[in-house]
Amino acid sequence: MTAITDEDFTLAGEYVLGLLDAGQEAVVAARIATDSDFAAEVEAWRLRLNPLLGPEHLAPAHIWPKIEKALPAATLQDVGTAKLTFWRALTGLSVTAAIFLGVLLLQQPAPTAPVANPTPMIAALGSEDGRSAMTASYDSTQGTMLLMPVTLETGELYPELWIIPADGKARSLGVINGDRPTAMDVSPDMRQYMNEGALLAITPEPAQGAPGGVATGPVLASGKMIIL
Amino acid sequence: MPVVARANHPEISELGSKAALHQPNAFAILSRMTISLGPTDLDSARRAKLAEALVQAGRGDRNAFATVYAATSAKLFGVCLRIFPDRNEAEDVLQDAYLTIWNKAASFESGRASPISWLVAVTRNRAIDRLRAKKKVGTSSIDQAAEIADSAPLADAQLIEQADDRILHDCISSLDQRDAMFIKNAFIGGSTYADLAKNEGQPLGTIKSRIRRALLKLRGCMEGAA
């Protein structure tokens, strides 16, 4: 640690103000990385001067969806471990399978009149640590959902599936089979919530489902419904 | 007691708020929960939460990144608007800034900087890069410097809302008017020493020693007032 001189104080201020040329900036950036006293002085200048960069303004609501869309695909984001990569690859595979099954489902003999604008939706449900738990594919024309569990450990309890629409309230879709792929009918009063952007989530609950329709267990996995 | 006990599982009610994040209204509410800059009103728990979310975003966690956005977008949009008063342009810069934040989040070190000052610095740098690129193609920088002086007057009522802002404002006002303008033209207008010297028609050394004296005076004033 070197003693901070007046030259250092001004240098830190010059750096924060952006007065330096590219070469000097690079030198200062290197010093910040190696000299914590100097880094603290840069931070102090930022705190002093940042009020000049205000006041706050509410960002328009359409910005976030654009940012989210522009992020690289989650599978490309390196988080490091091979295990994670494996699970992500598996998620990819089961999503593909879900899409395939979803398409099959849609190709089942149509009712007498052709259906307008079928909107197949899928969701990949993963745990907080990124592990794939289940994929779901929903056919809104039939109100049918295909569930393909990947890993769903609920111990002595049973996986209960919830739909959480924009209002943030979790509504039960019922206890599901966590061991093998199944097709379920979404009850007619729940179909209104099965929209793009709604969240599917799984909690461990007693065999007969969460008492009073309120989740008691922690969320094991969740995923947003997206339109194909 | 749930038989499945794994650490860090969120409650379903928390998940609901994540889903709600995608709705404009909920977004507006969340966006108002901005982190204040001043060390005095900086809620340390909130700051730690933001730092944690930023670190998680650096590991590729999109939910954490959404949390960072919700907590900071009003602050950072303010930064963009200060540098680009044109709203459309400011929106573009904001978007660009968050993508940069996503890419750089892994380099954020919570021990070295507060999350908000790191985020503001990244955003300002993106905005200034763009401004400088535009200036290269654009008109004379003297005109633009004058524009900045007009469009962002230091006496801006909104600017002095908060105590910290007021101290900064008072201290900048105590500087020589010219020096105060240099500081603003650098921080908000992207002028370097070389630009200022050229605009002023003065030797680089003269400008440098002027600003260095002004910086020491500013620091003395702000520390005396705090």
* pLDDT given at position A210: 87
Residue A179 at interface with chain B, using a CB cutoff of 8 Å: no
Burial class (CB in 10 A: 0-12, 13-18, 19+), A132: buried
Q: State the average pLDDT over residues B165-174.
A: 90
Please tell me if residue A22 touches chain B, with a CB cutoff of 8 Å: no
Q: pLDDT averaged over chain B? A: 78
**Residue A142 corresponds to which amino acid?**
Q
- Distance between B133 CA and the closest CA of chain A, angstroms: 14
Pick from A48, A200, A226 the residue to mutate for testing the B interface (most B CBs within 10 Å). A48
Shortest Cα–Cα distance, A104 to chain B (Å): 29
Query: Does B116 score more than 60 pLDDT?
Result: yes
Range with top average pLDDT, A72-76, B99-103, B106-110: B99-103
pLDDT digits over B42-77, tens only? 468 888 999 999 999 998 899 999 999 999 999 999
Contact A177, A145 (CB under 8 A): no
SS3 B183: helix
Shortest distance between the Cα of B6 and any Cα of chain A, in A, equals 9
Strand partners, A121: A138, A227
Using an 8 Å Cβ cutoff, are A19 and B212 in contact? no
Written in H, E and C, the secondary structure of chain A is CCCCCHHHHHHHHHHHHCCCCHHHHHHHHHHHHHCHHHHHHHHHHHHHHHHHHCCCCCCCCCHHHHHHHHCCCHHHCCCCCHHHHHHHHHHHHHHHHHHHHHHHHHCCCCCCCCCCCCCEEEEEEECCCCCEEEEEEEECCCCEEEEEECCCCCCCCEEEEEEECCCCCCEEEEECCCCCCEEEECCHHHHHHCCCCCEEEEEEECCCCCHHHCCCCCCCEEEECEEC
Give me the residue from B18, B190, B212 closest to A199, CB to CB. Answer: B18
Mean local confidence (pLDDT), A109-124? 60
B204 vs chain A: nearest CA distance in angstroms?
Answer: 11
Q: What is the mean pLDDT of residues B188-215?
A: 95
Sequence-separated (6 or more) residues with CB below 8 Å from residue B74: A56, A57, A58, A59, B31, B32, B34
pLDDT of amino acid A64? 95
Q: Is the pLDDT of residue A211 over 80?
A: yes
The pLDDT confidence band at residue B205, using thresholds 50, 70 and 90, is very high
A54 contacts in B (CB within 8 Å)? Answer: 37, 75, 78-79, 82, 158-159, 165
Nearest to B15 among A70, A166, A199 (CB): A199
User: Which residue from A100, A74, A71 is spatially nearest to A88, judged by alpha carbons?
Assistant: A74
The C-alpha angle with vertex B151 and arms to B146 and B157, in degrees rounded to 5, equals: 135
Is a pLDDT exceeding 70 seen at residue B2?
no
| Residue B180 pLDDT level (bands cut at 50, 70, 90) | very high
Locate the chain B residue with the closest alpha carbon to A220: B9
Domain B139-226, architecture per CATH: Orthogonal Bundle (1.10)
Predicted ipTM?
A: 0.75
- B4 contacts A153? CB cut-off 8 A: yes
Flag if A47 and B95 touch (Cβ within 8 Å). no
Where does CATH 2.60.40 sit in chain A? Answer: 80-227
Q: Give the rounded percent of residues in chain A with a pLDDT score beyond 70.
A: 78
| Residue in B215, B217, B218, B222 to test binding to A, most A beta-carbons within 10 Å | B215
pLDDT of B148 strictly over 80:
no
pLDDT band for position B6 (cuts 50, 70, 90) = very low
Among A134-148, A195-209, B32-46, B120-134, the range of highest mean pLDDT: B120-134
Q: Which residues of A51-75 are buried (b: 16+ CB within 10 A; e: fewer)?
A: bbbbbbbebbeebbeebbeebeebe
Of B8, B65, B218, the CB nearest to A128: B8
Pick the CATH number of A80-227 from 3.30.450, 1.10.3470, 2.40.10, 2.60.40: 2.60.40
Sign for the CA dihedral angle at B107, B112, B116, B122 comes to negative
Query: Among positive and negative, which fits the CA dihedral B109, B115, B119, B120?
Result: negative
Residue A14 or B158, more confident: A14
In the predicted model, what is the mean pLDDT of chain A? 80
Q: Cα B215 to chain center, whole Å?
A: 20
Fold topology of B13-138 = Rna Polymerase Sigma Factor; Chain: A (1.10.1740)
pLDDT mean over B101-116:
88
Q: Which A residues 182-221 touch B at CB under 8 Å? A: 197-199, 201, 203-204, 215-220
pLDDT of residue B215: 96
The residue in chain A having the minimum alpha-carbon distance to the alpha carbon of residue B156 is: A55
CB-based contact, A222 to chain B, within 8 Å: yes
Domain spans of chain B? 13-138, 139-226
Mutate to test the interface with A, among B15, B17, B56, B222 (most CBs of A within 10 A): B15
Looking at chain B, which residue has its C-alpha nearest residue A159?
B4
